[in-house]
Amino acid sequence: MTNDKFISVQHRVLANDQGPRISVASFFRTGISKVFGPLKELVCEDNPPVYREISLRDYMAHRYTSGSGTSALLHFKL
Protein backbone atom coordinates (compact mmCIF):
# COMPACT_ATOMS: atom_id res chain seq x y z
CA MET A 1 0.00 0.00 0.00
CA THR A 2 2.93 2.36 0.60
CA ASN A 3 4.58 1.44 -2.73
CA ASP A 4 7.77 0.50 -0.82
CA LYS A 5 8.00 3.98 0.75
CA PHE A 6 7.74 2.40 4.23
CA ILE A 7 9.32 -1.04 4.51
CA SER A 8 8.82 -3.35 7.46
CA VAL A 9 11.72 -5.38 8.77
CA GLN A 10 11.83 -9.17 8.70
CA HIS A 11 11.81 -10.43 12.27
CA ARG A 12 11.80 -13.57 14.33
CA VAL A 13 11.43 -14.33 18.00
CA LEU A 14 13.93 -16.31 20.04
CA ALA A 15 12.45 -17.87 23.17
CA ASN A 16 14.48 -17.82 26.32
CA ASP A 17 14.64 -20.66 28.81
CA GLN A 18 12.49 -18.92 31.45
CA GLY A 19 9.00 -20.33 31.21
CA PRO A 20 6.86 -21.23 28.21
CA ARG A 21 6.56 -19.02 25.14
CA ILE A 22 3.04 -18.24 24.01
CA SER A 23 2.24 -17.00 20.50
CA VAL A 24 -1.12 -15.69 19.39
CA ALA A 25 -1.88 -15.28 15.72
CA SER A 26 -4.65 -12.87 14.88
CA PHE A 27 -6.17 -12.10 11.54
CA PHE A 28 -8.78 -9.70 10.28
CA ARG A 29 -10.83 -9.81 7.14
CA THR A 30 -12.49 -7.19 5.10
CA GLY A 31 -14.62 -8.05 2.10
CA ILE A 32 -13.02 -10.96 0.25
CA SER A 33 -13.38 -9.09 -3.06
CA LYS A 34 -11.76 -5.88 -1.78
CA VAL A 35 -8.80 -4.80 -3.92
CA PHE A 36 -5.54 -3.63 -2.37
CA GLY A 37 -2.72 -1.81 -4.11
CA PRO A 38 -0.40 1.16 -3.84
CA LEU A 39 -2.07 4.28 -2.47
CA LYS A 40 -2.81 6.67 -5.34
CA GLU A 41 -1.16 9.53 -3.40
CA LEU A 42 2.16 7.64 -3.41
CA VAL A 43 2.19 6.82 -7.14
CA CYS A 44 3.22 9.22 -9.91
CA GLU A 45 5.20 9.26 -13.14
CA ASP A 46 8.48 9.54 -11.21
CA ASN A 47 7.37 6.87 -8.69
CA PRO A 48 5.41 4.20 -10.61
CA PRO A 49 3.60 1.33 -8.81
CA VAL A 50 5.90 -1.36 -7.45
CA TYR A 51 3.12 -3.92 -6.89
CA ARG A 52 0.00 -4.75 -8.86
CA GLU A 53 -3.44 -4.40 -7.35
CA ILE A 54 -4.70 -7.68 -5.87
CA SER A 55 -7.81 -8.89 -4.15
CA LEU A 56 -7.74 -10.37 -0.69
CA ARG A 57 -8.93 -13.62 -2.30
CA ASP A 58 -5.85 -13.71 -4.60
CA TYR A 59 -3.50 -12.90 -1.73
CA MET A 60 -4.94 -15.57 0.55
CA ALA A 61 -4.91 -18.18 -2.23
CA HIS A 62 -1.22 -17.48 -2.81
CA ARG A 63 -0.39 -17.60 0.92
CA TYR A 64 -2.15 -20.95 1.38
CA THR A 65 -0.23 -22.52 -1.51
CA SER A 66 3.20 -20.94 -0.90
CA GLY A 67 3.61 -21.80 2.78
CA SER A 68 5.04 -19.59 5.47
CA GLY A 69 8.46 -18.11 5.96
CA THR A 70 8.69 -16.21 2.70
CA SER A 71 7.34 -12.83 1.71
CA ALA A 72 4.20 -13.07 -0.41
CA LEU A 73 4.78 -9.55 -1.73
CA LEU A 74 7.45 -10.70 -4.17
CA HIS A 75 4.80 -12.72 -6.01
CA PHE A 76 2.79 -9.54 -6.68
CA LYS A 77 5.68 -7.28 -7.68
CA LEU A 78 5.41 -5.70 -11.15
State the residue range of the domain holding 68.
1-78
pLDDT at 44: 92
CA–CA separation, 65 and 63 (whole Å): 5
pLDDT at 31: 67
Q: Which residues contact 48 (CB under 8 A, 6 or more apart)?
A: 78
Q: Are 61 and 75 in contact (CB under 8 A)?
A: no
Render each residue's pLDDT in the chain as its tens digit; 78 residues.
888 888 777 767 777 777 777 777 767 666 667 888 899 998 999 999 998 998 888 888 888 887 766 777 778 888
Residue 17, Cβ neighbours under 10 Å: how many?
A: 4
Look at strands 35-36 and 54-55 and give their pairing.
Answer: antiparallel
How many domains does the chain divide into?
A: 1
In 3D, which of 63, 67, 64 has the Cα closest to residue 76?
Answer: 63
pLDDT at 11: 67
pLDDT at 75: 81
